[in-house]
Amino acid sequence: MKKFIDLHLHLDGSVPFTTVKKLMAEHNLPIPSDHDLRQQLSVNANCKSLDQFLEKFALPNKLMQTRHDLETIVYDLLTELKQQGLVYAEIRFAPQLHTKNELTQKTVIEAAIAGLNRFLADQQSKNNQPELHAGLILCLMRFKNNQVENMKTVELAKKFLHHGVVGIDLAGSEGPIPNIKYKPFFDRAIKLGIPFTIHAGEAAGPDSIRQALAMGAHRIGHGIHCIEDPELTKELIQQQTVLECCATSNMDTKAFNRITSYPIKNLLHKGMKVTLNSDDMTVSNTNLPREYKLLEEKTNLTSEEETTLYLNAVDAAFTSPDEKIRLRALIQK
């Protein structure tokens, strides 16, 4: 069985279908037919943009407002990832999105860590294959008036760093507010020693990537629009900046139009540190094994190229040197 590593995986976009149904029943919410529920949770070929893609997060977020819900979702998602053959995952979410009821950002993070720790404890007691290790990335959001909430996320990331949390991110609709407006938060992260990645070059163009670089990012969420700017591409290669590519998601959001010409192989052979990830498993109706199979079939991705993608992910992971040794050993076995 292949050993997979996912560095770009959103919790609210990847709530397992069975978990959605379970939590809807617990909250006494009317449960539609499986067909109708999947239409609420997943996009189809008619999805026209990132903003339309983001509409599919509405229902999952309603089910992520209690400690129990968050712990359950993290545990169930990790269980599913383990079954898919993942050996390492970084799961990202925005704590400020889950404070609509009684929770604070701190208790949201504690609930997610509880789900992570319960999974880790359970797999150790019944492990018969390589363990799945995981960490949490806390997302800041591109909203107009949430400076207090975003800075709180940064400070809490420091509090829980190495205790379940591995880094931070900037997420949300690209375009209305430039990335560079959020530089003070990442200046603070640098001062506190918090690793970070920044969404850029997905719906927005190459300039958003340049802004992320100016903010100190060494990992870029998506970054696929770098191909429009040869000088930027050269700079990313020289700096060994890592791109967290997500093929199916990029097709869904119309960030890229044809899977047969998806540029991950081209960038890989130019020397770019690219990785392949799932992004939003439920919204895009995919998972990481499917992503690799899709590129094998549509772009002739080879096993040697896949190994390079895995090793790029190990190099880029927000984890310890010992964990990277474990992951490289599993990949090269």
Catalytic residue numbers, as ranges: 202
Phi-psi region of 193 (alpha: psi -120 to 50; beta: other; left: phi over 0): left
From first CA to last CA, the distance across the chain in angstroms is: 11
For residue 232, give both structure tokens: 């930027």
Separation between Cα atoms, residue 191 and residue 160, nearest integer Å: 16
**Shortest CA distance to 221 belongs to which of 263, 172, 176, 291?**
172
Helix (H) / strand (E) containing 165: strand 165-171
Report CA 303 to chain centroid distance, whole Å: 24
**Can you list the pairs that 225-230 forms with residues at least 24 positions away whose Cβ atoms lie under 8 Å?**
225/201, 225/255, 226/201, 226/267, 227/263, 227/266, 227/267
Burial 148-164 (b: 16+ CB within 10 A, else e): ebbebbbebbeebbeeb
